[in-house]
């Protein structure tokens, strides 16, 4: 069986695929409207500078493309000293290209604010809801970050964490809503870790 690679999303919502022979084709997504939602939260603190942030950008792009193909709307939040919603829930991959390219590292790790923004974005949305946290550090205020994660869980949002080995892996694993939703990777494997986490999202059919 030949494999086809997702290379983009057309302006009309169709997926752009490339086969082993180099030919491109368009296919309709699994559903016309997203029936699930996932927000990707990327740590942009100072310790992420360099290769880790490059890996995060690339992995995030792959993750978002695959999430869209599975029937999810996606959103993007960055966090350092402050958290910022870079892309609200969208079904268009092109909305993410500029924000992902502009990610820059600096500051600390305000995970509390990032989780709180994700909760606000997801409160009035129906269907399966996921938050994926990518981090290589320790939250500025662990107690408040834990409380924010608990509010997400209480609202029925599934929380997945992707931690590099130099992060506070115990804390990040502790806020994931299930043991198998806590991923730990080597820094040089961050791209693959993020991209493959889409496998944890159930397939949605319209």
Q: Where are the domains of the chain?
A: 32-200
CATH 3.40.50.410 fits 32-200, yes or no: yes
pLDDT at 204: 73
Beta strands in the chain (DSSP E): 5-9, 15-18, 24-27, 36-43, 72-79, 83-90, 129-135, 158-164, 182-185
Q: What is the pTM of this model?
A: 0.84
The residue among 58, 158, 155, 67 whose CA lies nearest residue 103 is 58
Per the model's pLDDT, the better-predicted residue between 174 and 5 turns out to be 174
pLDDT at 206: 55
Per the model's pLDDT, the better-predicted residue between 29 and 185 turns out to be 185
pLDDT band of residue 35 (cuts 50, 70, 90) is: confident
CB 97 within 8 A of CB 125: no
Per the model's pLDDT, the better-predicted residue between 140 and 25 turns out to be 140
């Amino acid at each position: 069986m030949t494999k086809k690679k997702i290379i983009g999303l057309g302006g009309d919502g169709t997926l752009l695929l490339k086969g082993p022979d180099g030919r491109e084709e368009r296919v309709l997504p699994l559903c016309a409207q997203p029936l699930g939602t996932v927000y990707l939260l990327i740590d942009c603190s100072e310790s992420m500078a360099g290769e880790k942030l490059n890996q995060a950008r690339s992995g995030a792009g792959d993750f978002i493309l695959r999430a869209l193909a599975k029937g999810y709307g996606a959103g993007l939040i960055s966090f350092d000293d402050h958290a910022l919603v870079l892309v609200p829930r969208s079904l268009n991959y092109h909305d993410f290209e500029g924000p992902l390219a502009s990610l820059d590292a600096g500051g600390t790790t305000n995970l509390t604010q990032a989780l709180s923004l994700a909760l606000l974005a997801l409160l009035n949305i129906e269907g399966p809801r996921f938050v994926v946290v990518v981090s290589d550090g320790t939250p500025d205020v662990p107690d408040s970050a834990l409380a924010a994660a608990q509010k997400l869980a209480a609202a029925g949002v599934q929380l997945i964490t992707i931690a590099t080995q130099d992060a506070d892996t115990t804390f990040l694993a502790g806020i994931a809503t299930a043991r198998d939703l806590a991923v730990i990777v080597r820094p040089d494997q961050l791209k693959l870790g993020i991209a493959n986490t889409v496998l944890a999202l159930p397939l949605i059919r319209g």
